[in-house]
Structure 1
Amino acid sequence: MNKQLIDRGPVIGQFMGQDIPASLSYSDGSKYEFVRAGVIEADGGFEMEQLDDEEFVITPGLIYRRTR
């Protein structure tokens, strides 16, 4: 079963022209909070080594950490 995004928290800023939601909630009960914007390489790439445990990235380079 794929989890679905069910809620975005309030917009707390913008990064590369995209809104930054404060949090993301999914249908499986997991919740993630915005941590930071990642470093985007000159070629538009994203180095996954920037991520710590329990973190993931969404386009355009927003990093979120699982809170539950």
Structure 2
Amino acid sequence: MIRSSPCEVLCEPPRFAVRVNQTVELRGPEEQTLAEIEVVLVVDYTFDDGPAPGADATRTAARCRPR
């Protein structure tokens, strides 16, 4: 059995972070719980004033935005 918690998103320019949490339950043949594993993924970016993105990146980002 896999349970996922709602994804948490933080967007405070220049920072962008996402946290994803899943719990995996391993069960035996008689449905008894053998193990429970929790997986947490945190992605945290801080954007700097580096070079402007190229044209390909700009076009891709424009296509990915919600309309």
The bucket for the TM-score relative to the shorter chain is: under 0.3
TM-score, length basis structure 2 = 0.27
Larger relative helix fraction: 2
